[in-house]
Amino acid sequence: MANIQELLQDYLNYLEIERNRSVKTRENYGRYLRAFLDFSKAKTEKDITLESVRDFRIHLARQKTAKGIDYKKTTQSYYIIALRNFLKYLVKNDYSVLSPDKIELPKTPSRQIEILEYKDLERLLLSPSGSDLRSLRDRAILEVLFSTGLRLSELCGLGRYIDIDRGELSVRGKGDKIRVVFLSEGAKKSLKNYLQKRTDAESALFISLTKAKIPKVIGRITPRAVQRLIDYYSKAAGIPGHVHPHMLRHSYATDLLINGADLRSVQSLLGHANVSTTQIYTHLTNKELRAVHQAFHARRRSLK
C-alpha cells in the first residue's frame, strides 16, 4: 500500500507531463480529488471503496454553492470523472484498487446549445460601425470570432504579427495543442483596418484601451472585456436575450455543418479532443434538415 497523497501527486504530474494537460486542468483535477480524499479520509489506495464513493456522491448531491444553489449534475460529474480517471491510472500502474468500471457516471441533462439567428448575427457583426480604434478593434474581434470559432481564451491569447493575407492562424488550444483556423474575407478586411489604426508596440493582437477620449493602450484585452463588448453590441443591435462569446463559436460550428462540412473536419477546426463533443451540434443541424425536408420534399404532390 502507498500513501494516497503521494499517489495523487504522481497522478497530477502524469497529467501535466505525460498527458500534456494544461496547468488549469491539473488544478481542477487536484481540487476534485482532494475533495474526495478529505471527505473519505482515505490514507491509502485501499481506502477508496465502493461505499466511500457512494457516500461521497450523496455528499455532492447535497452540496450547495456559496449562493445556496444545489450543485448541478454536470458539476457533480466532474468529481466522479476525476476519481474514475485516477483509479484508471492506478490500475495501469499495477495497484490493486477498486475497478473504475464499478463507478457509474451521473446522468446529466443534454447540453443546450444556443446559437444566433442569422439575421441577428449579421446585425451584431455590423454593430461596431465607427472608424475610431475601439470600434475597429471591436469589429475585428466579432469577425474573427465568427470566422474561426475560437474559444475566448484563444482569441485573447493571439499575437499581433500574423500573415493576414494568407488567412491562417495557428492557435494554441486546450492541452497546449496547436491547430490551424482560417480567416474569412470579412475578418481579413476588419483586421487590416484595425491594425493600420494602431500606433502602439504591444505584441497582443487585441488590446485593452482606456475609456479616455483619446484612449491609451493598457495591454492585452481580457476575456471579461470581450464578454462586455459583445453584450454591449448585441443590445445595440436589438438582439433579445443574453448573447455570450461562446454563441459565436456555436454559430460557427452549426454554420459549417449546415453548409455540408463533415463532423471530423469541424472537430479539427474547433479543437475538440473527441468527436463526441462535436456531435452536440448535430441536433441543431437536424432541425435545419427537417425544415428543408418540409419546404422542398414532394412539393409537386402538394401542388396537385
CATH number at residue 259: 1.10.443.10
Could you report the per-residue pLDDT of 119-143, keeping only the tens digit for each? 899 999 999 999 999 999 999 999 9
User: Does 304 score more than 50 pLDDT?
Assistant: no
What is the amino acid identity at position 127? S
Domain assignment of residue 300, yes or no: no
Identity of the highest mean pLDDT range in 106-110, 146-150, 210-214: 146-150
- pLDDT confidence band for 296 (50 / 70 / 90): low
- 259 and 163, same structural domain? yes
Average pLDDT, the chain: 87
Our answer to whether residue 283 is catalytic in this structure is: no
Our answer to whether residue 281 is catalytic in this structure is: yes
Our answer to whether residue 272 is catalytic in this structure is: yes
Domain assignment of residue 140, yes or no: yes
Of 35, 67, 102, at which residue does a domain stop? 102
- Name the residue with cell 449562493: 67
- 132 and 98, same structural domain? no
- 214 and 153, same structural domain? yes
Question: Residue 95 burial (CB < 10 Å; 0-12/13-18/19+)?
Answer: middle
Q: pTM of the full predicted structure?
A: 0.65
| Residue 253: other Cβ atoms inside 10 A | 25
What is the amino acid identity at position 51? E
| Residue span of the structural domain in which 89 resides | 4-102
Contacts of 180 (CB under 8 A, 6+ apart): 168, 169, 170, 171
Question: Residue 205 burial (CB < 10 Å; 0-12/13-18/19+)?
Answer: buried
> d(Cα 44, Cα 111) in Å, to the nearest integer?
36
> d(Cα 92, Cα 289) in Å, to the nearest integer?
45
- 243 and 172, same structural domain? yes
Could you report the per-residue pLDDT of 240-277, keeping only the tens digit for each? 888 989 889 988 888 888 888 888 898 989 988 888 77
Residue pair 266/257 in contact by the 8 Å Cβ criterion: yes
Our answer to whether residue 293 is catalytic in this structure is: no
Our answer to whether residue 249 is catalytic in this structure is: yes
What is the pLDDT at residue 303? 45
Name the grid cell of 26.
491539473
Catalytic-labelled residue, pool 29, 79, 252, 281: 281
Domain assignment of residue 110, yes or no: no
Which of 55-64, 87-96, 129-138 comes out lowest in average pLDDT? Answer: 55-64
Catalytic-labelled residue, pool 137, 151, 188, 250: 151
Q: Where on the phi/psi map is residue 244: left (φ > 0), alpha (ψ -120 to 50), or beta?
A: beta
Our answer to whether residue 192 is catalytic in this structure is: no
| Residue 126: other Cβ atoms inside 10 A | 13
- 39 and 14, same structural domain? yes
Would you report the helix, strand and coil content of the chain in percent, each value rounded to 5?
60, 10, 35
For residue 27, what is the domain's CATH number? 1.10.150
